[in-house]
A and B are shown apart, each in its own frame.
Chain A
């Protein structure tokens, strides 16, 4: 076919596109595409060399097919070929294809970089711009490596065209964002700052984005930009609307540049130089003044551009937070916008006012708009605007208006959108607590919350009300009375039953004097809700009943009757059945004294910050909160609050577990015999009944052997319920993110080996995260502290860790982990304690999986937990004679393991000694007849047995091969131990 006339443009492409558009079905479309793909493929493979035009056309078709959502796996080479065309449009299509379709495919990148290099050095500005665009679009590390040095030169060279400068500035910005380490600061940096003075507005506009980003990272190096920015801003602000010609947008002079200048200034504190500061304040005042002038155009573009500058100026005023006059003016301006007919402006005004509310200078001014904001909450038609209004009410709330705001939010909750209810509930709960003058108001508010939006009341909220009631005896009677009244409602929310059950169980006696709320009436009221409730709530109610027996002996027979009924004592749910059985037994066996001790009133909770706040922060944090994460948050909230109902919580876990532990031992009856025989353990009974609820209780009595007591067989019901059996203590936090744990990292073995001879140090580090380890071991028990440090300035959310050990390890080790906070703030560190029990010797290491979201992306890494069998060594000192006697005793072939290997870390004697000591064995001096050799002895302590081990390390500095060699021999009473130690140690020297 003769070359298609150029005058036709890419006719073939247009025909193809319209063919696709005419396809009646998806199938027809796919058929047409496949036909085209086959055609293109044959053209590309054909013998006849394609001319540039055809190549361009086919590459463009491929691009179109890709943009329709189909995969493209060829044509890259043809696109790269187009780069070397000297026809602009062919080059352009080649670059477009590469920008859209190329990932860092190694072989191609080299060719592409060649093309780019040629164009960059072509001195043809249009070609240079194309090349710079391509670099910015792909922005890969390979490209940064190739060009990060070259682009700054182009940017500041005197003879570079303006258009190329613009592209170069933004291209460099892109590379700096992806690979900051490759963009080296240098002589060019000071010249870049002076681009703010450039005559060409386009150059300034492009350069300022780069300067802003660089200033954020290196404020000191760029601080001269402040005065330059102020003078540039001042010139723009004072210019007439026509001065800037094409850079005036709908009568607003250079709005984009103005916004960027104001944004750049937000990287710095207020200018110290008085003249500069005065000039800036003048600018800000002018901007505020202009807002009051009549608009120069009715077009929305005019007001948008003008207000964009205004909002950016207000952001700067808030950032400085030092000019009371400007702050109040800003607030008044925003106040006007609150009633503007443009929804966009109302939205932004509400949002901006939220930050103003936190400034001491403008807090009062913001408060004057309360009625308008309340009105917005009630009448705005757009939920996102209502959400902003709710945020602002929350931000402007203080002691003076808390009652009004809480009341308004409560009444809004009745009709609020489902999407924001949970957040509203949290906010109301926080405000009610924060500004509660009298706690009866607080109790009323929370009970109202439960009544109005019970489904959205998370556990934090009702845990918290209980915590506060327990801690304040002035409100207990009121709380009992109010909750009793609330329970009268025919349909009340299950959360209300929980609060009611707990509070009446503790403080029902305070209202029992009134015949209308006599003990039996209280009990009957609670019990009338019982059958409607879920298992955890029923479990809680059973605990309330046993407390009733203690508070009101007259209810004993009624309650025993209930406990004895088949529906309780033979309940199919193991937790409920157990509670019924044990409480019944307790009430009939224990004396009133014992009962009174066991079921004593809850001790006060330690004062803590409300976990509701953490929950709210998390809700607002980046990324959507997954439902599992919320679950996790609740679980944790329970603990933070001292666990209003840990027992119930664990029930959930148990019922979810595939095999609920048949040996779950709520009251520890099995281990400590009949209750009556064990009055001294009353303390622990209390713990069991309200598992861990009393913060003081668990520490009291029972296990005060301190160190490592957590490793004792768990006595708390929650623990024993969570554990599925003695072998499996993987009751650690449930995996927060649904993705499976990643496979162990390739370097995980190497990292493990680093810790064989030491117990503290940095286990792992990458750009985001650092994991430090501290560990101590005693006998067959170990405790490890892991420190997870967030190296970034952005918080990690959904942070979770889990330790898994499968197969043989399950019978060899017992590892318990405590859950970690799911939120790690930027720069913060969280600690996790891991308890390890060595049941018998082991060879593998448990896996430690860490997951979190960083800026929305899931990070998932798996390491080996640095626990090796030598950690359980106890050094044994012995004299030469004893050593060799034992050495001979352990002479069976399987008892010995030996390796001969090259020294990989030199042969420094002191270093070797240090390592051997770190190993945990005793280093025996004057035992081996050859003073160059090292011998050690130690006993590995496991639960099942003790394994005695002897070690002999023979360095050979001048082996025949001329290399430094070692011979390592281990003998122990157990073959697996010898072998494992030998393997581990061969990596160390």
Chain B
């Protein structure tokens, strides 16, 4: 899936965004705003795909978070949906039943996981083990036992 970007949105708050095509900062903001409106207006039973500008949006809601990918016309929608799911699984495995706060307080980790999974918008590896191995390696190197912070 050639996602030109993927991001995670909640109630109009952007938690994570990644762009795989060069886009001016101003346009990014505009696109994010527009996309949030479109996606948040969708009702539960509606399909997970929609045409938006010249892209296709594939989105899925997990608890309070919407995960969205913007992919190109010829990309496969269903497999993109599973890209999202695999990413959520990776977050879940890493954080241990991930919740929104994990992503907020450990945003840098969320970015690292996304980077290990997708690179330049393409899947680098679909194996959960391989992706997490890379991340965990980093944690070991840090000599830190607990990256979770018992705050809040």
Contacts and interface: CB of A to CB of B under 8 A. Distances in A.
A344 B126 contact: no
B111 interface: yes
Nearest to B145: A7
A163 B125 CA distance: 9
Interface string A223-253: 0000000000000000000000011010000
B37 interface: no
Nearest to A262: B76
Interface in A302-351: 304-305, 307-308, 311-312, 343-344, 346-348
B78 A167 contact: no
Interface string A180-222: 0000000000000000000001100110010000000000000
Contacts of B22: 139, 178
B84 to A, nearest CB: 10
Contacts of A311: 76-78
Interface in A21-67: 21, 60, 63-64, 67
Interface string A251-272: 0001111010001000000000
Nearest to A307: B78
Interface stretch (B42-50, B61-69, B91-99): B42-50
A82 to B, nearest CB: 12
Nearest to A132: B119
Given A256-B123, A301-B82, A21 B141 contact: no
A618 to B, nearest CB: 13
A751 to B, nearest CB: 28
A69 B138 contact: no
A173 B46 contact: no
B10 interface: no
Given A64-B107, A382-B46, A205 B112 contact: no
B49 A63 contact: no
Contact of B127 (A15, A202, A259, A623): A202
A622 B51 CA distance: 11
A170 B85 contact: no
B112 A92 contact: yes
A742 to B, nearest CB: 16
Contacts of A254: 126
A384 B128 contact: no
Interface string A143-163: 000000000000000000001
A813 B25 CA distance: 43
Given A178-B22, A209-B122, A307-B78, A856 B45 contact: no
Given A69-B29, A312-B76, A60 B122 contact: no
Given A305-B79, A308-B78, A344-B77, A170 B47 contact: no
Contacts of B78: 304-305, 307-308, 311, 344, 348
Contacts of A826: none
A206 B124 contact: yes
A88 B139 CA distance: 9
A389 interface: no
B24 to A, nearest CB: 9
Nearest to A71: B25
Given A89-B142, A304-B81, A344-B77, A166 B124 contact: yes
B54 A622 contact: yes
A87 B105 contact: no
Nearest to A621: B54
Which of B53, B104, B112, B119 has the most C-beta atoms of chain A within 10 angstroms of its own C-beta?
A: B119
A88 B138 contact: yes
Given A163-B134, A381-B45, A96 B141 contact: no
Interface in B122-152: 122-130, 134, 137-138, 141-147, 149, 151-152
A167 B86 CA distance: 19
A308 B123 CA distance: 15
A11 interface: yes
A249 B86 CA distance: 9
B108 A129 contact: no
Contacts of A174: 20, 119-120
A17 interface: yes
A87 B81 CA distance: 36
Given A18-B152, A69-B29, A247 B127 contact: yes
29 contacts: A6-B142, A17-B104, A17-B105, A18-B152, A88-B141, A89-B141, A92-B138, A93-B108, A100-B111, A133-B119, A136-B120, A170-B119, A171-B119, A171-B120, A174-B119, A178-B22, A202-B126, A205-B126, A206-B122, A256-B126, A301-B82, A304-B78, A305-B78, A311-B76, A343-B46, A344-B81, A381-B45, A382-B47, A622-B53
Given A170-B124, A201-B126, A205-B126, 8 more contacts: A88-B141, A202-B125, A202-B127, A246-B130, A304-B81, A312-B76, A347-B49, A348-B49
